[in-house]
């Protein structure tokens, strides 16, 4: 049985998915890359759907979803580190639905960054969270989050192509 929020008519969950789904997908892509991002996105919203009835009425839904996405992305990273013995190599993942043009190069450059830098860039620049909130999600201080984002942006500036072709 779902618990009801007292004095507030909750926003339908479908509206939350429509409003925050693209942001969560960008975060998942930034942390995991294109291949695993959709799985983490789905797992994020399944977990959120189960927990939504218990969410406090004045909660920051975007921050809540990004926190769930962060945890699901870390779960995927941990799972991908397990070795699987096989006689045959799997097929390369299809590029269907992947960003085209300069955006594809940006995603590849972002994927090459260390995890903490990818996370801080995703949460601060893609979601728009302040560094203090980013630090609460990824761990560490506000200054450490700011430094990780600055280092990541500096690395992207060195590796990502410049000029009109973007």
DSSP state of 47: H
What backbone phi and psi angles, to 5 degrees, belong to 12?
Answer: -55, 140
Listing DSSP states for 98-143 in one string gives ---THHHHHHHHHHTS-HHHHHHHIIIIIS---HHHHHHHHSS-HH
Q: 147-157 burial, b for 16+ CB within 10 Å, e for fewer?
A: bbbebbbebbe
- The full set of domains in the chain, from first to last, is 13-83+101-159 (1.20.140)
pTM over 0.75: no
Dist. CA 20–CA 23, nearest whole Å: 5
- pLDDT, one tens digit per residue, over 15-70 is 999 999 999 999 898 888 888 889 999 999 999 999 999 998 889 999 999 999 99
- Residue 10's alpha-carbon distances to 6, 41, 93, in angstroms, are 10, 22, 39
Q: Rounded CA gap, 56 and 27, in Å? A: 23
Task: Determine the pLDDT at residue 88.
Answer: 65
The percent of residues in the chain predicted with pLDDT above 90, rounded, is 40
């Amino acid at each position: 049985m779902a618990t009801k929020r007292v004095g507030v008519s909750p926003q339908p969950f479908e509206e939350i998915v429509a409003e925050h789904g693209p942001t969560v997908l960008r975060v998942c892509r930034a942390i995991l890359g294109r291949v695993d991002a959709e799985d983490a996105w789905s797992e994020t919203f399944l977990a959120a759907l189960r927990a939504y009835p218990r969410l406090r009425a004045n909660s920051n839904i975007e921050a809540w979803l990004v926190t769930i996405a962060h945890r699901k992305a870390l779960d995927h990273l941990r799972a991908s580190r397990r070795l699987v013995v096989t006689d045959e190599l799997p097929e390369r993942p299809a590029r269907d639905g992947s960003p085209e043009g300069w955006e594809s190069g940006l995603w590849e450059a972002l994927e090459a960054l260390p995890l903490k830098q990818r996370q801080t860039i995703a949460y601060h620049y893609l979601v728009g969270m302040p560094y203090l909130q980013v630090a609460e999600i990824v761990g560490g201080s506000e200054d450490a989050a700011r430094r990780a984002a600055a280092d990541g942006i500096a690395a992207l500036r060195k590796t990502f192509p410049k000029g009109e072709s973007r």
